[in-house]
Amino acid sequence: MIDASRRQALTALAAIGASGLAPAAIADTYPSKPVRVIVPFPPGGGTDTVTRIVAPALGEVLGTQILVDNRGGAQGISGTQLAARANGDGYTLVIAEIGATAVAPAMQDKLPFDVARDFVPIGMLIQQPYLMSIHPSVPAQNLAEFIKLAQANPGKFNFGSGNATAHVAQEVFFATAGLKLTHIPYRGSGPSMAALLANEVQVIFSGPGAALGQIKAGKIRPLAVTTARRSSEVPEVPSLSELGFKGFEIIGWYGLMAPAGTPRPVVQKVSAALERILSGGPTAQALRTRGYEPVVMGPEAFGKFMRAETARWAKAVRQYNVKSSD
C-alpha cells in the first residue's frame, strides 16, 4: 500500500521522466505558456478579489500570463474537484480556500477529491478576519442588541453563508449565543452578500473582500470581527472576544495548490514568486488596503498548516453537529 506522499513523489518522478528534462531544466523552461488559476467561487467574493490582485504580479515574476478561471459551485467543492482532475504540469493551479479544503471534509461523507492525495501545496496567500454584519432594517445597533432581538424572536431571522467556513462559524457562534436562525446557503461570498443587501438574509459572516465596500457605503451594519484584534480597515468595529465571547476567533485564509504530480521544481518556482510579491511592494499593499494580510508560507509549512486546520475544523463540526445544507 503506497501512502499519499509517496504516490505524489512517484507521479512527479514519472512526469519528469516523460518530459526528458532534468529538474533544473524543467524549472528553467517553466512556464512556456499561460498558467490557469482556478478560483472555486463566482466573481465578486474574497477569493476572486485576492486572486485578481495577485495574478498580474505573479505573472510578471514568472514571465507569463495568469488566467483567472472562476468555477463556482457547491461552496468551493466543484472548482476544487475540477483542479484535482487537471494535469500535474504546473499550468493549472487552484486557490486553496479554507472552506473547501479544511472545513468541507468534516461536513461531507465523501468528497470528490482528497486534498492530501490529489494536491501539492505551493504556499499561503493571505489571512483575513470575518465580519459579522446585518441588514440595516434590523433594529439593532450593536451585537448585544442583535442577540437580545434574536433571542426574543427564534426562527425569525435568516443567516447566509457563501462557503463552509462561514456556515460552521455562524452555527458555532449562534449556538454559543443561544440563538436560533435559519440557514440559507449560497454559491459564494459575493452571492451571500447580495442576499444580505436584498434582505433575503439578515445576517452573515463574510470576509473583507465582500464586506468592506458595503460597510463604508453604509449599506450593511457591521457588529463584530472574528479575530482577536480589530481590523485596521474598520477599527471602530469591536472583536467578538472583547464583546464577551472569549476565545472565539475565526481566521480565514487562502493559498495556492497544484494538482498531484506537479514537478517539485515547478512548485518551488511558483512558491518563490509568491514570496517575492507578498513580502512587500504594491501587491502586498493592495491586499492590506482591502483588509487582507499577506502571508509568506512555503510548501512544507503550508501543507502542515492545512492538515492542522482540517483537524481543528473537524473537531468543531463534531462538537456542534453541523450538517451540510448545500
pLDDT digits (tens, 9 = 90+) for 79-123: 999 999 999 999 999 999 999 999 988 888 789 999 999 999 999
Does 146 lie in the same domain as 97? Answer: no
Domain boundary among 225, 242, 266: 225
Structure confidence by residue, pLDDT tens digits, 141-192? 999 999 999 999 999 999 999 888 999 999 999 999 999 999 999 988 889 9
pLDDT on residue 275: 98
> Could you give the 3-state DSSP secondary structure of residue 87?
coil
- CB atoms closer than 10 angstroms to residue 275: 14
Contact 290, 212 (CB under 8 A): yes
Contact 295, 278 (CB under 8 A): yes
Residue-averaged pLDDT of the chain: 91
Going by C-alpha positions, the residue among 186, 205, 202 that lies closest to residue 326 is 186
pLDDT tier at 323 (50, 70, 90 boundaries)? confident
Does 258 lie in the same domain as 210? Answer: no
Indicate the number of domains in the chain: 2
Region 313-326: mean pLDDT is 81
Give the amino acid at 193.
M
**Does residue 120 sit within a domain?**
yes
Domain boundary among 191, 225, 259: 225
Does 44 lie in the same domain as 186? Answer: no
pLDDT on residue 1: 46
Structure confidence by residue, pLDDT tens digits, 1-28? 455 555 555 555 455 444 445 555 677 8
Q: Which residues contact 70 (CB under 8 A, 6 or more apart)?
A: 39, 41, 42, 43, 48, 79
**Does residue 190 sit within a domain?**
yes
pLDDT on residue 185: 93
Whole-angstrom distance, CA of residue 231 vs CA of residue 237: 8
Q: What is the DSSP letter of 75?
A: G
Does 147 lie in the same domain as 204? Answer: yes
Structure confidence by residue, pLDDT tens digits, 228-282? 889 888 999 999 999 999 888 899 999 999 999 999 999 999 999 999 999 999 9
Does 28 lie in the same domain as 95? Answer: yes
Does 255 lie in the same domain as 120? Answer: yes
Going by C-alpha positions, the residue among 202, 221, 218 that lies closest to residue 153 is 202
Structure confidence by residue, pLDDT tens digits, 260-270? 999 999 999 99
pLDDT on residue 109: 79
Cell readout for 121 is 501545496
**Does residue 8 sit within a domain?**
yes
Whole-angstrom distance, CA of residue 120 vs CA of residue 16: 16
Distance of CA 254 to the CA centre of its chain: 4
Q: Residue 200 pLDDT more than 60?
A: yes
Question: Structural domain of residue 306, as residue ranges?
Answer: 4-127+251-320
Going by C-alpha positions, the residue among 98, 107, 104 that lies closest to residue 128 is 98
Q: Residue 173's domain is classified under what CATH number?
A: 3.40.190.10
pTM, entire model: 0.83
Does 179 lie in the same domain as 101? Answer: no
Does 218 lie in the same domain as 271? Answer: no
Q: Between 75 and 274, whose confidence is greater?
A: 274
Q: Residue 36's domain is classified under what CATH number?
A: 3.40.190.150
Structure confidence by residue, pLDDT tens digits, 208-226? 888 999 999 999 999 999 9
Strand order in the sheet with 119-129: 66-70, 35-39, 92-97, 251-259, 119-129, 293-294
